[in-house]
Structure 1
């Protein structure tokens, strides 16, 4: 989507989207979203001594703490020692308060974007292209450098594909290359849902079609036998450590785990790649308090000892087959957690045994997880919809009625006749799963979002009720104070235009006419005051 960055008086726009981006051909794995801010896309590069050599655009502001963290997070923290090019992602907690110098309000973008692709206000995402090759001219005997694109948007595949084009050229030509790339990106059109965009960059045209599709999950294939349990742990916001041999494996697994609840949003913290130098290191490794609600990916073997007290540890490595199923994956789980029947997960594993194509296997797994999440969330959606006041209770001249409170016991009573068993073949302790879900940040995030949407719907219905009423008849026996109060309330309702309430444009226009009609019925001195304000 569109980024707004100020540099040398120019406004640069960069495009971002999620999903795969095959270069030079149309991709159907991107997402439909409107013009937004990219969060200050900054290309950063530095040497192994953890020194930022260049930040572009020049006026992109980072605190010293953020610069240090980016340096450490942009190099592999493992003993793999492999040569060549590596790509991975990280997520960094913002420090130093909100900063608004580089972007415009993108509330509209977040209202239009899928929940899993919304801009983050308190975190940055980093997309890394790291190169390590032998070079006798270097002091250490190696060329080791990373190019990093920093954004507030989780568009992993597009930005990593962009780096595949930019980084090799940048390592040869340095700063002029970044300037040329930004000039090209500045000419990219804003994305239009359903239309194919041709995005030229460095002599290549990326054809992108923006549609919404679920995540890809190739990294789940080694852990298919555990997929049911992993879904539950993520749903409940349980602390999970992913121990991997490289930042690439760790970041892919963490991002896949936090996406496996779609269309439900994962509302806990997550760190696709975490190092011992991170400012939260002490917080995560202390044994004096329970681990936080977070999925964290690590590669340094030091974490095997320091995080062994965490309740859930997923160790993944290179896919090595023992017979037909991967045996190297180990999962430590909380024994008190009663999981659902995992037969569908086992049947997914059989796809590997039968040498089913990975694309088919991925699609089957994606469908399984989607159906599982929908089976879990539909009863919640039905119940919360029942808390909405009836439309006939909404009258023009009274405040809208309140949404009834969510009562967990009342919801649990609905499950006998309208529970997940109607749409899901899995058997198990669904009631226990819901009780634990109510204690998780994921439930809190879901409820807050749905309550906000329902409140906006009530406001919209109230606005429509006012427009359908006979306002002239209402004013006949009303005092000036009551009429002025009505004008002020109607003006407040017009904020709906800014809040993007689900209201038709003609309704908003009628509200404007109503305000003029009401003001014209008042004495001239009051008219002047109200027109002035």
Structure 2
């Protein structure tokens, strides 16, 4: 009976099930002389998108006309989902998410668009140019990974047409699920890509693939990171202000990134979002945003304060539109910097912030326009170490690793006091009684937390000095804090239920039932079944031993009840 039930729960792998674990669809957008950007092709053909989603994809699939992008261009965008798309295989979803870092979880409210745009002269076409984009649409924020995939698929499609695209999609449908911690071998168009999705337990900055197979055939198609952008190249124009930018992102301030190309603005936005890892950035962000976006009016209205969002733009029109925004970041092309050919530094002579009202015209100089006053001072030890790295002419990869480690340590130092205070809200294990409802967490009181900062604050682990308490007060009004707190509360509440179930499994429930009424016994059976059901649906993480012990006790207790009650309980268990 139990084996049959287990088999009934297992869904057969249907066509496109595995594909949907990685991608929603692949779109081809072309330029139509009458319609402008138009959706030429979408695969798999059964996938549906709303009209708003299609329109957004079409407009974002082409660089703005002012960008003047010739040749091949790759960049990213992010759009709001009008209709949610979920996989049918809950077990697979659980396996993909339970060990996944929060920053790499599937996005249930937005799509990421990975664009490969080609524009070349073609006299045979009426417009005089071949203009077309291949867009990989996914709910996964695997930026490096999908850039590599589009770099393989798009040129083949441009050269050989639709059959190549269809063949690539069928290859993807054979891929294993994106489960963290496993080295995945992914066949694609005659080659194999080797990747590993990080886990929560991974030590930051390590590359597990470096310690595995070193055979020559792996080297060209192994990705050391599926998501990390080059922080040094993408922030080289604003290096003197990285601590300011970290604060703005941490507290969810509205930021506009202005750049000459979609590649530059989208890469810079992603670098900003990633600088608060391992926290997840929970306000909205659009790596590439245009005047045709369906949220254009929502984000550019002057009748209310700018929303908490990071926007990447290229059109000079936005220079005037966003004059009222509090923080504007202007950058040049990725990796070029604004230092006359010399290496970017953390302390250039022209590093002063520009007042936000100063951005009246299309100023080609990079910089940050803001009136924001930082809570924290710059970390002198880090500046010294980073400057030494620059002087020694180390690689961009080394500089980027230093920046990433510094941001990580800064964010972790900021979060540790919050975690410590949250742990104090957890009931003691001795307070967990198996025959009573699990105890609840004490409420998070901001003022109580603030009182702990003076003696147990970030100054214990970070060399950065400043008004940490002021920064905490601003952070606790942000979406980043709300998401962190809600997620941690759920995890801790589930831990309490897990501990309660363990205590319950170790209790002699038969003895407890001796002097109880039938109503009380049936109620206890139903509540235990409900908890076991939550375990099986992956809502609670409990050992199989605990579940088996509880199930056995429930079975034994049920047998002591009258036959009519046993029949009723049997019927309810089958539903």
TM-score normalised by the chain length of structure 2: 0.84
Aligned to 2:18: 13
Quote the offset at 1:188 in angstroms: 2.6
Higher relative contact order, chain-length normalized (CA < 8 Å, sep 6+): 1
When the two chains are superposed, the root-mean-square deviation of aligned CA atoms in Å is 1.9
Q: Which runs of 4+ in 1 moved over 6 A?
A: none
Aligned to 2:410: 372
Are residues 380 and 200 of structure 1, via their aligned partners in 2, closer, same or farther at CA, if it must alter by over 3 Å? same
In structure 1, C-alpha distance between the alignment counterparts of 2:426 and 2:166, rounded to whole Å: 53
**Deviation sequence 1:183-203 (CA, Å, 0-9, x none):** 222233345655543322222
Give the alignment of 1:48-127 within 5 angstroms: 49-95=36-82, 97-100=83-86, 103-105=88-90, 106-127=93-114
Structure 2 residue runs without a partner (length 5+)? 1-13, 206-227, 351-364
Are residues 133 and 345 of structure 1, via their aligned partners in 2, closer, same or farther at CA, if it must alter by over 3 Å? farther
In structure 2, C-alpha distance between the alignment counterparts of 1:62 and 1:193, rounded to whole Å: 29
In the alignment, which of 443, 450, 453 is matched to residue 415 of structure 1? 453
Quote the offset at 1:241 in angstroms: 0.4
Aligned to 1:325: 344
Equivalent residue of 2:287, what SS?
Answer: strand
Are residues 334 and 350 of structure 1, via their aligned partners in 2, closer, same or farther at CA, if it must alter by over 3 Å? farther
Quote the offset at 1:353 in angstroms: 4.4
Structure 1 residue runs without a partner (length 5+)? 1-8, 15-35
In the alignment, which of 282, 293, 299 is matched to residue 284 of structure 1? 299
Equivalent residue of 1:125, what SS?
Answer: strand
Are 1:404 and 2:479 matched, yes or no? no
Equivalent residue of 2:465, what SS?
Answer: coil
Equivalent residue of 2:78, what SS?
Answer: strand
Aligned to 1:243: 258
Are residues 133 and 127 of structure 1, via their aligned partners in 2, closer, same or farther at CA, if it must alter by over 3 Å? same
Contact between 2:237 and 2:366, CA under 8 Å: does it hold in 1?
A: yes
Are residues 80 and 39 of structure 1, via their aligned partners in 2, closer, same or farther at CA, if it must alter by over 3 Å? closer
| Range moving further from structure 2, 435-444 or 496-505 | 496-505
Quote the offset at 1:256 in angstroms: 1.3
Aligned to 1:525: 564
Contact between 2:117 and 2:131, CA under 8 Å: does it hold in 1?
A: yes
Equivalent residue of 2:537, what SS?
Answer: helix
Contact between 1:78 and 1:301, CA under 8 Å: does it hold in 2?
A: no
In structure 1, C-alpha distance between the alignment counterparts of 2:566 and 2:297, rounded to whole Å: 63
In structure 2, C-alpha distance between the alignment counterparts of 1:335 and 1:471, rounded to whole Å: 62
In structure 2, C-alpha distance between the alignment counterparts of 1:37 and 1:502, rounded to whole Å: 23
Aligned to 1:341: 378
Are residues 227 and 116 of structure 1, via their aligned partners in 2, closer, same or farther at CA, if it must alter by over 3 Å? same
Number of matched residues? Answer: 502
**Deviation sequence 1:155-212 (CA, Å, 0-9, x none):** 1111111111111110122211111112222233345655543322222222224445
Give the alignment of 1:133-532 within 5 angstroms: 133-190=120-177, 194-211=181-198, 213=204, 215-216=228-229, 217=231, 218-318=233-333, 319=336, 320-322=338-340, 323-325=342-344, 328-344=365-381, 346-347=383-384, 348-349=386-387, 351-494=389-532, 495-532=534-571
Contact between 1:198 and 1:208, CA under 8 Å: does it hold in 2?
A: yes
Contact between 1:78 and 1:299, CA under 8 Å: does it hold in 2?
A: no
In structure 2, C-alpha distance between the alignment counterparts of 1:44 and 1:464, rounded to whole Å: 53
